[in-house]
Amino acid sequence: MTAHSARRPPCRRSTISFVVPCESQAEVDEYWDKLVDGGEPSACGWLTDRYGLSWQVAPTELDAMMLDPDPATAQRVTEAMLKVRGKFDIAALRAAFDAA
């Protein structure tokens, strides 16, 4: 036993995470379904795979939507993103982006 482990138990937390940029809903669905199998879904497109690694499966257009120069548009998209439990629905994000 090392001196470090004698003082406190090992901490299990994610020290690395990955983002899978997806061009379409089909890509979101494909990567999400494969990665979450045996793992656990989380909020905002995040999941933990069967090996304990953290992934976000996200549409590539999300960044541009959230950085829209119109603050109201960016706010709507951000609010829609924060409501996501599980995988992203690109149509729902686009609806928030296009809402007047």
All domains of the chain, ordered by start, with CATH?
Answer: 15-98 (3.10.180.10)
- In tens, the pLDDT along 61-80 reads 999 999 999 999 999 999 99
User: What pLDDT was estimated at residue 11?
Assistant: 45
| Beta strands 54-59; 17-22: pairing state | parallel
In terms of Cβ atoms closer than 10 Å to its own Cβ (0-12, 13-18, 19+), residue 37 is: exposed
10-50 per-position pLDDT tens digit: 445 668 999 999 999 999 999 999 999 999 999 999 999 99
Q: Rounded to whole angstroms, how far apart are CA atoms 95 and 90?
A: 9
pLDDT, position 15 = 80
Q: What is the pTM of this model?
A: 0.81
